[in-house]
Structure 1
Amino acid sequence: MAYGSPTRMEDVPAYLQGIYEGKPVPEYATRENTEKYAMVGGISPSNAIVDSLVRKISAKLSQGGEIDVILGNKHWSPWLDQSISSLSISNTDKIVAFPLFPFPSGGVKGSYLDPLEKALSRRNLNPEIRFINGIPSDVLADIWAPLVRKNYWKGDAVLFDAHSLPLFREKEDDYNAAFMSASRSTAEEAGLQEYFVGYQSRGKYGNRWLEPSIYEVLENIMAKGYRSLLAVPIGFLYEHLEILYDLDLEFGGKVKEMGMDYHRTGLPDDGDSLVDSVCRLVMNEVS
């Protein structure tokens, strides 16, 4: 299960209307998303990466028995409801639902589990649902530590980064704790002596979001005398616009404006480490 992205610039307005559930789309949202998609030629890298990831997971899981693997997006094709319709599940007694997010979140769980349950109910289907809400910290550390070691320059300030979440519905304590734990475990496995953590992409609605902001953390990094910064977007599993735009362009630009060098690790994407980890977690729920 994934968020989903439009495949053409012309689809951005329809994509935003779906996100805002028919409510008027704020002007800033249209402007910012249009700028983001224009930067990558109108096509997010997410779709191709997720499609490849799903194919690799399907191929690996099919070796151990008959397991159907399908992709259902929340905000673009293939929509979750469409995916349920295309799946032959009349004789299926269990579904393992796995949103592609690294940390457990009450808000994320509800936004994917509720539509799944409604889609099944509309078809009078009642299989057991096993919901995987986040990836264990030690598993994430095994995935991310090699990426940190590969990209680390001597003297880097290493900043672990995750997407901020609003706190008006859920406290998101589990999400915050998982972010801190995964960052700590990865830093230890990568042999770092010091590291920093911060949240990116705070929205423009609501007064309370998970903190600290990466911009606030940048001030602390500067005060400690660092001259280069390695961003580690451990709160993401694959490349997409919020990394390319919010992190690399906006935040990276600010880092450079402050006189520091900026670079970041790659993402797990559809690499073997993430494929293998997802398959193990799914099989734990199947067996």
Structure 2
Amino acid sequence: MAYDAVVLVSFGGPEGPDDVLPFLQNVTRGRGVPPERLAEVAEHYQHFGGVSPINQQCRELLAAVRADFAANGLDLPVYWGNRNWDPMLADTVAQMRDDGVRRALAFVTSAFGGYSSCRQYQEDIAAARAAVGPDAPVIEKLRQFWDHPGFVEPHVDAVRSALAQLDPARRDSTRLVFTAHSVPISAADSAGPHGGRYTAQLAETARLVHAAAAPDLPYDLVWQSRSGPPHVPWLEPDINDHLETLAEQGVTGVVVSPIGFVSDHLEVVWDLDTEALDTAKRLGVDFVRAGTPGTDPRYVTMVRELVRERIDPDGAELRRRLGELPMWDSCPTVCCVPPRRPS
């Protein structure tokens, strides 16, 4: 099947103080998040001048992918559209239509299954196409990539680099902690053919990174960045609560690896580099946060490989994977249903 473009689809983020609250309202619309929680999160952004790092990181990834495509003979234009802030996906799809694009592939900056990390992006694409109208290009999402070498290997090297910053004499009391965005338990265990894959895929990525980076160390998978109503059960433990537990167990140093994220956006630089770091300091635990793929050349190459998989007649033979969980190219409409909203 012929494709004539690729679109980078991401979360989006504010780029100035006046953007913060409207952005957060976009993110949380219909989720029952209390206004006081929005105000609390808005304050996090104001620590950085009201600017989220994510849009600039997308610009850098966009430039790197375009350069990689050009250097490797992949003659496809690459566009960029966001879920929650400019450039909004509907505007990007309109531009693609105006440029004559008829069928495109979408690379979503989320490696995992689940509602907010996969299904909701499918809904965003459908909504953007509906807003543009009958002449909107067909857009097909590329597969998830939680166990692709181009995603796993940058995390491995980041963990190794972080561990090198801790005292090797205290390695016996060092622990590796993987984090990802918490979600409602109802979403993590959602029904459907691939429901519940969010936690399973994250556990697989953690296993792969641990085995390659520090197989002698114990490790945990914990959660961060909870944002929902307090009475709704979400995945636990939270990273800060877990640090308390580790300190009680005699752990003297931790490397925290945010495997749930592809770049150092706000939920990394605030929730980990600020809040979790402060918790570790209070507990007297040495804390080093490992990096994310960002624009690592292996991650950029992965984008091209995912496109080649889909457009090449022998695409299945090109597929690179390190894990053992089932893999699929497209999801049925009943997959990863939305979490149950509070009544």
Please confirm whether the aligned pair reaches a TM-score higher than 0.5, indicating the same fold.
Answer: yes
Q: Secondary structure at the match of 1:282?
A: helix
Letter in 1 for 2:311: V
1:135 aligns with 2:136: no
Q: Over residues 155-208 of structure 1, what are the superposed CA-to-partner deviations in whole Å (9 max), with x where a residue is unaligned?
A: 231111111112335525211011110011111111332212101112232522
Residue segments in structure 1 that go unaligned for 5+ positions in a row = none
Q: Over residues 125-173 of structure 1, what are the superposed CA-to-partner deviations in whole Å (9 max), with x where a residue is unaligned?
A: 4755432353132523222111111110332311111111123355252
Residue segments in structure 2 that go unaligned for 5+ positions in a row = 1-8, 191-195, 313-343
- Indicate the percent of aligned positions where both proteins have the same amino acid: 27
Give the C-alpha shift of residue 31 in structure 1: 2.1
Q: 1:158 aligns with which of 176, 191, 196?
A: 176
- Paired position in structure 2 for 1:72: 81
- In 2, Cα distance between equivalents of 1:72 and 1:264: 29
Give the C-alpha shift of residue 80 in structure 1: 0.3
Change (3 A) 1:15 1:261: same
Give the C-alpha shift of residue 236 in structure 1: 0.5
Q: How does 1:1-287 map to 2 (within 5 A)?
A: 1-21=9-29, 26-62=34-70, 63-88=72-97, 92-121=101-130, 122-125=132-135, 128-139=138-149, 140-152=151-163, 153=166, 154=168, 155=171, 156-169=174-187, 171=189, 173-193=196-216, 194-205=218-229, 207-287=232-312
Whether the aligned pair in 1 keeps the contact of 2:176 and 2:257 (CA below 8 Å) is yes
Whether the aligned pair in 2 keeps the contact of 1:143 and 1:273 (CA below 8 Å) is yes
Whether the aligned pair in 2 keeps the contact of 1:160 and 1:196 (CA below 8 Å) is yes
Change (3 A) 1:88 1:65: farther
Change (3 A) 1:22 1:157: closer
Query: Once structures 1 and 2 are overlaid, which stretch shifts more, 55-64 or 248-257?
Result: 55-64
Change (3 A) 1:24 1:215: closer
Letter in 1 for 2:89: L
Give the RMSD, CA atoms, in angstroms: 2.3
Q: Secondary structure at the match of 1:71?
A: strand
Give the C-alpha shift of residue 93 in structure 1: 4.9
Whether the aligned pair in 2 keeps the contact of 1:138 and 1:182 (CA below 8 Å) is no
Whether the aligned pair in 1 keeps the contact of 2:155 and 2:291 (CA below 8 Å) is no
- In 1, Cα distance between equivalents of 2:113 and 2:200: 9
Q: Secondary structure at the match of 2:104?
A: strand
Whether the aligned pair in 2 keeps the contact of 1:141 and 1:189 (CA below 8 Å) is no
- In 1, Cα distance between equivalents of 2:153 and 2:188: 29
Query: Once structures 1 and 2 are overlaid, which stretch shifts more, 239-248 or 168-177?
Result: 168-177
Give the C-alpha shift of residue 18 in structure 1: 2.0
Q: Secondary structure at the match of 2:52?
A: coil
- In 2, Cα distance between equivalents of 1:213 and 1:49: 26
Query: Once structures 1 and 2 are overlaid, which stretch shifts more, 259-268 or 62-71?
Result: 62-71
- In 1, Cα distance between equivalents of 2:129 and 2:120: 15
Letter in 2 for 1:61: F
Give the C-alpha shift of residue 6 in structure 1: 1.0
- In 2, Cα distance between equivalents of 1:22 and 1:224: 41
Whether the aligned pair in 2 keeps the contact of 1:90 and 1:125 (CA below 8 Å) is no
Whether the aligned pair in 2 keeps the contact of 1:138 and 1:185 (CA below 8 Å) is no
Whether the aligned pair in 2 keeps the contact of 1:215 and 1:251 (CA below 8 Å) is yes
- In 1, Cα distance between equivalents of 2:33 and 2:227: 14
Query: Once structures 1 and 2 are overlaid, which stretch shifts more, 129-138 or 85-94?
Result: 85-94
Change (3 A) 1:89 1:185: farther
Q: Secondary structure at the match of 2:42?
A: helix
Show structure 1 runs of 4+ deviating over 4 A: 22-25, 88-93
- Taking CA–CA contacts closer than 8 Å with sequence separation of 6 or more, which of the two structures ends up with the larger relative contact order? 2
Query: Once structures 1 and 2 are overlaid, which stretch shifts more, 230-239 or 118-127?
Result: 118-127
